[in-house]
Amino acid sequence: MPIKSDRPTLLTPARPKSGTGDSAPCAACHVRDFAVCGALTPAELDRFGGEVHRIYLDIGTPLVDEGEPERNVYSVTQGCLKSYKLLADGRRQITGFLFPGDFLGLTRSDTYTATVEAVTPATLCRLQRKELDQLSRAIPNLDRRLHELASEALAELQGQLLLLGRKTAQERVASFLLTLSRRAVERGSVANPVDVPMSRDDIADFLGLTTETVSRTMTRLRGQNLIVANKDKTIEIVDADALAKIAEGL
């Protein structure tokens, strides 16, 4: 399974799908403020950007496979991706969703610890692992930023352990919607009509449930007038407080 639309163009020329701005290099990148590169000075950024290649992924296209040598790291600029692990019989656990500004490559290992593929069409910046290592040795800010991101990821995962180990289906779904909303705000989007680009199946495999249970639970939350589902894959959070209480088991 090779990367499908890997076009090793530099940042400036022909990008496969256009969409929002970011025509200029890193300095003008729309996710710069909250991505890895946000902590860099203009000079550092130039050096960083010189090594970066732009990647475009179609829906369902695998970016990296679990167990494959970890040669590249990525920074998401557009779209949504999922990271997952499989058991031999096909059971799947999605370990996280990646959104613009998210960095893929914190788990510095010889091989990728999970498979990653596109949930929606996505664009990313690709950088060789060894380039990143050199850069981060030379640029303390970059190193510190990676540290920071790894810490946040660690804290996030601990919360996900609590969710998977101890929360009910309703608590899981409520937590999930609120987390999506919070993360949308963090990357400069709106909190309320929250974008839910992934399928019920993906949500189920992230929350340790089945599609049917996710669906039923959503219906139930709708019935309690806590959320409203729009048909553009967004969900209106009607009563965030009540949802938060459910999410925390209150």
Partner DNA sequence: CGTCGCGTTGATTTTGCTCAAGATGGGTGG
Partner DNA sequence: CCACCCATCTTGAGCAAAATCAACGCGACG
Compare residues 119 and 207 and give the one whose CB is closer to a copy of itself. 207
Enumerate residues 110-169 that contact DNA by CB under 7 A.
168-169
Rounded to whole angstroms, the Cα distance separating 249 from 73 reads 37
Options 20, 109, 134, 225; binder of a copy of itself; rule CB under 8 A: 109
Which DSSP helix (H) or strand (E) runs through 95?
Answer: strand 92-98
216 binds DNA (CB under 7 A): yes
CB of 146 to DNA, least distance (A): 34
Compare residues 29 and 207 and give the one whose CB is closer to a copy of itself. 207
214 binds DNA (CB under 7 A): yes
CB 180 within 8 A of CB 233: no
Compare residues 83 and 170 and give the one whose CB is closer to DNA. 170
CB of 200 to DNA, least distance (A): 4
Q: Total residues at the site for DNA (CB under 7 A)?
A: 19
- Can you name the residues that pair with 84 across neighbouring β-strands? 94, 115
Rounded to whole angstroms, the Cα distance separating 214 from 200 reads 7
> Which two tokens mark 212?
């049917």
Q: 82-89, long-range: CB within 8 Å, 24+ apart, which pairs?
A: 82/116, 82/117, 82/119, 82/198, 82/202, 82/206, 83/114, 83/115, 83/116, 84/114, 84/115, 84/116, 84/205, 85/113, 85/114, 85/115, 86/115
85 binds a copy of itself (CB under 8 A): yes
205 binds a copy of itself (CB under 8 A): yes
Give the footprint of a copy of itself on this chain (CB under 8 A).
85, 87-89, 91-93, 95, 106-109, 113-114, 137, 140, 143, 146-148, 150-151, 153-155, 157-162, 164-167, 205-208, 248-250
Give the footprint of DNA on this chain (CB under 7 A).
168-170, 199-201, 208-216, 218-219, 229, 231
